Structure 1
Amino acid sequence: MNPGFLSFILISITLILLASGWRRTLLGDAPVRAIAGFFVAWLAMGQIRFRLSEHATVAGAAIVLAVSVVVAAARRRSPLGLLHLVSLGLFLASVYYLLKHIGELNPFFWPNRSWSAAGLAVAAAAAMLVRRAEDQLAVVSMALLLGTFLYWRVHQQPAGAVFGNLRFQDEWWFAAACARTMSVAGESSLALARGASKTIAKRWRGLKK
């Protein structure tokens, strides 16, 4: 699959779901203006490249994600909640870097040499450790941004490489979609289990009477 194609598909699916009334299920209590602003900024700046120096070029998508993380952190009202969010982001960034590094040392560590496996692992961890949709996406963004930056600093990148390129965008959208899908599926399964347990308990009490 060509870089950028997966993110295009996931963006299209997300916009369709949001327009169909799935906003609260997918993104929780995130403000409508913030969601609209994110998509407008992504579509407007995603492919713009900013040359910071001779060896440093950053895609607009990476800047949009960094700003989104800052906004999500600023919306945290308690300092303890902010510290928890940042600590999880740093922890998952180190996990992401470790998995990417292991994948480079042993190309057969991931099935079919998958480029998305490290992002999938981060998404699964975020879905288990963070409950709020906005915080989940902030943690995933922080992990991929910092993990990729660390990986680029340690490993020599080819000339003309762009931080936040199309492959990175594919991985972020894939990780974000997986995190939200796992979270929604887990919450729905838990709600069904609770409802079933209550129904069984009521019937059992009725049989005893």
Structure 2
Amino acid sequence: MNPGYLSLLLIAMTLILLASGWKDVLVRGISHKAILLFFVLWLGTSKIVIPFGSWRIYGCACVAVVISAAVIAKTESFMLQCHLVSVGLLLGSIYFFLQEASHLIPAMMAHPDLNSSLLVGFSAFLMTRLPLVQAACVSVGLLLGDAYSVYVHSPEGFPAVIGGPRFQDRWWLALWMARGSSVVWQGVCAGGRSAARYWAGRRKEGADDRMGD
């Protein structure tokens, strides 16, 4: 599959789910206007390339940076802001390590982009359950990981690309992994609470029957 096609597929699937009534499940607490604005900005800037010296920065990378900055700025506690930044730095380090491992030991990762994106998304899920915070952490992690790779591998004067089609594929795949894991975890927790209430009710009924006898 050519770079960029996966992100378009995931965007289409996301729009279908949101239009089908899954909005409160996937992105609870985010307004419809904010969601619409995000998709308009992402799709409108995904093909725009901004030259910055020897760097070529796609517009969607700027959108990811704005999302991350807005989430961090809206976080009231300074300690939580530091936590979000540290999570992003950790995800960036994990992503960079996985990319380097795929170059040094190819047998470790048959599909480096797929595996690294899924692991970054799952790591974001382990550290937070909030949709906007997950998006911010994934954005910081992937952008930092790409910046590390560019700094290490790109020859001097060679154009470096940030936010290109491959980044877009990885970003959407990581976010889907983070949100999908969160939804599954919520379902497991809800099922566990229902089972606990059911067995508690059964035990109470059994105790009442024994007292009645």
SS across alignment from 1:168: helix
Match of residue 211 from structure 2? none
Map 1:58-207 to 2 at 5 A.
58-110=57-109, 112-156=110-154, 159-207=158-206
Asked whether the 8 Å contact 1:28–1:134 carries over to 2, the reply is no
Q: Pairwise CA RMSD of aligned residues?
A: 1.5
Cα distance between partner residues in 2 of 1:173 and 1:113: 16
Per the normalisation by structure 1, the TM-score is 0.93
SS across alignment from 1:108: helix
Deviation of 1:13 after TM superposition, in Å, equals 0.9
SS across alignment from 1:116: helix
Asked whether the 8 Å contact 1:69–1:142 carries over to 2, the reply is yes
Give the % identical residues: 37
Higher helix share: 2
SS across alignment from 1:147: helix
Q: Deviations over 1:18-57 (max 9, x none)?
A: 122222211121233222211111111111101111x211
SS across alignment from 1:58: strand
Is residue 15 of structure 2 the alignment partner of residue 15 of structure 1? yes
Deviation of 1:125 after TM superposition, in Å, equals 1.0
Deviation of 1:3 after TM superposition, in Å, equals 0.8
Unaligned segments of structure 1, at least 5 residues: none
Cα distance between partner residues in 1 of 2:23 and 2:115: 27
Per the normalisation by structure 2, the TM-score is 0.92
Q: How many pairs align? A: 207
Match of residue 24 from structure 1? 24
My pick for the range that moved more, 160-169 or 96-105, is 160-169
Paired letter, 1:147: G
Paired letter, 2:33: R
Asked whether the 8 Å contact 2:49–2:59 carries over to 1, the reply is yes
